[in-house]
Amino acid sequence: MARDDRPWGGDDPPGVVYFYAPGRAGENAETFLTGFDGILQVDGYTGYNRLTKLSRKGGAPIRVAHCWAHARRKLKEVFDRDGSEIAAEGLRQIAEIYAVEADIRGISPGQRLSARQARTVPLVAAFGEWLQAQRRKISSKSRLGEKLSYIHNQWDGLQTFLTDGRVEIDSNRVENLIRPIALNRKNALFAGHDEGGTAWGRIASLIETCKINGIEPFAYLEATLAAIASGHPQSGIDDLLHWNFRPSS
């Protein structure tokens, strides 16, 4: 789970927390997000669906924002394999949507929302009409049909970014934060046991939060552990957070 307000000029510093779970069951996400009330940017993992239901445990239904990069990837897979002109047209339209995002990156949420309402809403509406037109012509069991169905099934969440200037068009920033974990998991093979997985998540949270804040991880860990060993009071725990770290000269 990550927070990064930099694309819209937010004041809160970026951070990431990794939770360990023994499986991919949807109730794990439900447990981790107990009490969360807001918009959650996610990929197409179906385990998140339970978070949007009235029966959600731990809070009211969450509104999700789906990822346009995943939608684009589905069409790109077909184009790379078959050279599909239909997939190429979909990619062209998505590129136009991303071009607007490139223009408005870094400005305030209100400005982003205004620009999206004026420029992006018509593009997304046109893509939606194109999507449904193609689905009527193409078998849902074909390779391209399956990809179009994926995008159709995510459609409501793909439009969330049009209504809130704080929401990103995709989850690429989170994907980049997951990549080191996935690579390490592949290389390490095992965490030893569940407690080891939990400890791994905590250490990774500290290290990756260092990286996205431009802090050298070893320097932060060395100084923070030294402060704790020297009796740093629990009441001052916020002083040890990454964004309050000042490296020694």
The arithmetic mean of pLDDT across residues 138-154, rounded, is 96
Measuring CA to CA, which residue among 16, 73, 22, 20 is closest to residue 41? 16
In three-state secondary structure terms, 109 is helix
pLDDT in tens, 152-189: 999 999 999 999 999 999 998 888 888 877 777 777 76
β partners of residue 40: 64
Burial of 190 (0-12, 13-18, 19+ CB in 10 A): exposed
In this predicted structure, what is the pLDDT of residue 107? 94
The whole-chain average pLDDT of the chain stands at 91
Residue for token pair 């982003």? 112
| Sequence ranges of the domains in the chain | 68-162
In this prediction, residue 64 carries a pLDDT of 92
User: pLDDT, tens digit, for every residue of 66-125?
Assistant: 999 999 999 999 999 999 999 999 999 999 999 999 999 999 999 999 999 999 999 999
Nearest to 165 by CA among 7, 2, 1, 12: 7
